[in-house]
Amino acid sequence: MLFSPLAFEIPHESWRWRVSVLAGYLLLGVLFTWPLVLHLSDSVIQKGDVPVDTAQGIWGLWWVRTALLSGANPYVTSMLFYPESINMLYQTLSLPNVIPALPGSLLAGPVVAFNSIILLSFILGGYWVYRLAYALTLDRFAALVAGFVFVCTPSQIQRLYGGSIELIASFWLPFYFIVLIRALARRSLMGVFCAALTLFVTTLASQYYGLYAAVYTALYAVLATLHAPRETRWTTFLTGAGVGLLWVALLAPLLL
């Protein structure tokens, strides 16, 4: 049900079509990173002779695998600045991006896992922008083009050359926007929790994107409130405020 121009439900599509869209963006990722798919275990995309951010990302993948297999906290390590222990929350650990790549890390090593995140950025980035654009336009072709533009824009390709996992995995932003819009449309406690949790995970994946999304949430919630029917404005505002407050509550223990 449509509550306001800025709070709406995402249209339903068949799973066959969704799988086709995902496969299409995977193929796009393979083509744009060619011949990476032929060298998943022995090569990475990089700019310059010294892959600083790429190497740091690969080390992070190795460290998370090592920590989880040994039952250690991945956010605390003494392997940097030994014998002192440091808090990896303020490093670019990007745990939500590392976890999906963990099977590849366990089976084939951290280089394969790192390259799988690159391909995943095309698949999920394109797909979530497609879903968001389709909800706005109800035009599949236009939505597919929007997904293409998002994952193949020069700024995104530049992130691939830079090698920073937390920037490469930009798909968290459109995914969060979809969850936020749905929460504002439904205006329920479950919607608030899901949106705040997604924002929290987005922040753990990339503190840059988490900050951007938090600012976006505040502005978007105000606009959605102003555009909502008079009888739903108060609950729309409370929904947006609830997402922000719960996000802060979830993040506070880690910061402290």
Any idea where the domains of the chain sit in the sequence? 15-168, 172-255
Res 4: pLDDT = 43
- Within 13 A of 9's CA, how many CA atoms are on the CB side? 7
Q: How far is CA 253 from CA 51, 198, 200, 250, 256, in A?
A: 33, 17, 12, 7, 5
Return phi, psi of residue 5, to 5°. Answer: -60, -20
Q: Within 10 A of 139 (CB to CB), how many other CB atoms are there?
A: 12
**Which of 8-12, 30-34, 39-43, 47-51 has the largest mean confidence?**
30-34
Average pLDDT, the chain: 89
- How confident is the model over 38-93, as pLDDT tens digits? 998 888 888 777 667 888 889 989 998 899 888 888 888 888 888 888 888 877 78
Q: Residue 40: which of 105, 97, 93 has the closest Cα?
A: 105
Measured distance CA(27)–CA(31) in Å, rounded: 6
pLDDT over 70 (residue 37): yes
Q: In the structure encoding, which two tokens stand for residue 45, read together?
A: 């995309």
Q: Is the pLDDT of residue 1 over 70?
A: no
Retrieve residue 81's tokens.
Answer: 């600045």
Confidence of residue 243 (pLDDT cuts 50, 70, 90): very high
The total number of residues written for the chain in this structure: 256
Q: Which residues pair with 87 in a beta bridge?
A: 76
- What integer pLDDT is reported at residue 173 of this predicted model? 95
pLDDT of residue 5: 55
Place of tokens 């924002």: 199
Q: What are phi and psi of 7, to 5 degrees?
A: -140, 110
pLDDT at 141: 95
Q: Is the pLDDT of residue 2 over 70?
A: no
Distance CA 186, CA 191 (A): 7
pLDDT at residue 30 in the model: 95
How many other C-beta atoms are found inside a 10 Å radius of the C-beta of residue 119? 19
Q: Could you read off the pLDDT of 121-165 as tens digits, one per residue?
A: 999 999 999 999 998 888 999 999 999 999 999 988 888 888 888
Q: Which of 6-10, 43-47, 134-138, 247-251 has the lowest average pLDDT?
A: 6-10
